[in-house]
C-alpha cells in the first residue's frame, strides 16, 4: 500500500501549464493568428506558428510581423495585440476543449491536498476566462504571462514565481508542460517535468519524463517521476 503522506511530501507542489496541456486551445489560437496575418496581407507559415507555441504575446507579435515583412510601430504592435486578444476571447467564449485526461488529473491531484499553481504565458484577462472552464478553485495561485515583468517562458521566472508564491522550492515541484518553450522554462527553474506534447515535438533532456496523455495521472504517478 502507498503511504499517502510520504507521497504528498515528496512533491512540494504541482505546477500546470494551460494552453496545450490542460486545454486543447492552441488550435483556437490558430484562428486569430492566421486571420491577423491575412489582415496584414501575408500568410503565417506552420514553422512560425509552431515557434509561437508556449510563448508570450510580445514574442508572438514580433514573430508575426516579421513573418509578413512588416516593421511595426509600438502603436501598431499594441493595436495588433489588442485585436488578437479580442478575437481570441470571442473564440474562447465559444467553448474550450480539454486535453485527454486533463480534467480528471487536475481533480485527482487536487484531492490529494498538494499545493497547485497554474503557470501560463497567456495574459490575465484570457486566463480568467479560461478558468471559468477549468475551475479557479483548483489552484492556490495563478501566474500569467503579463505578470512576470517580461521575463516569460522559456526563462525560469514564471515557475520560480509560482513556487515562491506557494512557499516551496521549485526543485521539489513537478511541472506539467506540452511545448519546448514551457519545458525549457520549467527545467531551468529546477522542476521535474512531465511532458505531454500537443502540437509541437519536445526534445528529450534532463528532468523530462514523457507521456502520451494525462489519462491516469494522480499524485502517486507524479511522485514516481521524482523517485
DSSP string, 107-175: HHHHHTT--EEEE-SS-HHHHHHHHHHHTGGG-SEEE-TTSSTT--TTSSHHHHHHHHHHTS-GGGEEE
Render pLDDT for 9-42 as a digit per residue (tens, 0 to 9). 589 999 999 999 999 988 888 899 999 999 999 9
> Which helix (H) or strand (E) segment is 194 a member of?
strand 192-195
CB contact burial 124-154 (16+ within 10 A = b; e otherwise) = eebbeebbebbeeebbbbbbbbbebeeebbb
Beta bridge partners of 116: 14
Please tell me the pTM assigned to this model: 0.84
- The answer to whether 117 and 141 are in contact (CB under 8 A) is yes
Report the pLDDT value the prediction gives residue 29, as an integer from 0 to 100: 86
Q: How confident is the model at residue 44 (pLDDT cuts 50, 70, 90)?
A: very high
Residue 172: cis peptide before it, omega within 30 degrees of 0: no
> Which helix (H) or strand (E) segment is 48 a member of?
helix 46-52
Cα separation of 151 and 153, whole Å? Answer: 7
Report the pLDDT value the prediction gives residue 8, as an integer from 0 to 100: 52
CA dihedral 113, 217, 7, 4 (to 10 degrees): 70
Q: Locate cell 504565458: which residue?
A: 121
Render pLDDT for 64-115 as a digit per residue (tens, 0 to 9). 999 999 999 999 999 999 999 899 889 888 889 999 999 999 999 999 999 9
Phi, psi of 45 (to 5 degrees): -80, 160
Cα separation of 29 and 84, whole Å? Answer: 9
* Distant-in-sequence, close-in-space partners of 57: CB < 8 Å, separation ≥ 6: 81, 84, 85, 121, 123, 145, 146
Beta bridge partners of 179: none
Amino acid at each position: 500500500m502507498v503511504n499517502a503522506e510520504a507521497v504528498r511530501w515528496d512533491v512540494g507542489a504541482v505546477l500546470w501549464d494551460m494552453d496545450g496541456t490542460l486545454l486543447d486551445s492552441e488550435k483556437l489560437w490558430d484562428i486569430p493568428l492566421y486571420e491577423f496575418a491575412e489582415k496584414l496581407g501575408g500568410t503565417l507559415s506552420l514553422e512560425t506558428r509552431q515557434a509561437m507555441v508556449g510563448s508570450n504575446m510580445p514574442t508572438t507579435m514580433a514573430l508575426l510581423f516579421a513573418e509578413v515583412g512588416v516593421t511595426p510601430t509600438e502603436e501598431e504592435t499594441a493595436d495588433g495585440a489588442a485585436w488578437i486578444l479580442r478575437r481570441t476571447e470571442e473564440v474562447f467564449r465559444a467553448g474550450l476543449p480539454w486535453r485527454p485526461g486533463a480534467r480528471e488529473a487536475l481533480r485527482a491531484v487536487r484531492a490529494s491536498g498538494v499545493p497547485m499553481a497554474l503557470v501560463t504565458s497567456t495574459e490575465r484577462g484570457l486566463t480568467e476566462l479560461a478558468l471559468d472552464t477549468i475551475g479557479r478553485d483548483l489552484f492556490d495561485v495563478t501566474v500569467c504571462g503579463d505578470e512576470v515583468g517580461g521575463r516569460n517562458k522559456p526563462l525560469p521566472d514564471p515557475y520560480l514565481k509560482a513556487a515562491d508564491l506557494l512557499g516551496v522550492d521549485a526543485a521539489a515541484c513537478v511541472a506539467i508542460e506540452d511545448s519546448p518553450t514551457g519545458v525549457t522554462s520549467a527545467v531551468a527553474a529546477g522542476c521535474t517535468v512531465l511532458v505531454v506534447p500537443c502540437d509541437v515535438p519536445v526534445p528529450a533532456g534532463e528532468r523530462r519524463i514523457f507521456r502520451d496523455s494525462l489519462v491516469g495521472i494522480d499524485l502517486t504517478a507524479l511522485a514516481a517521476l521524482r523517485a
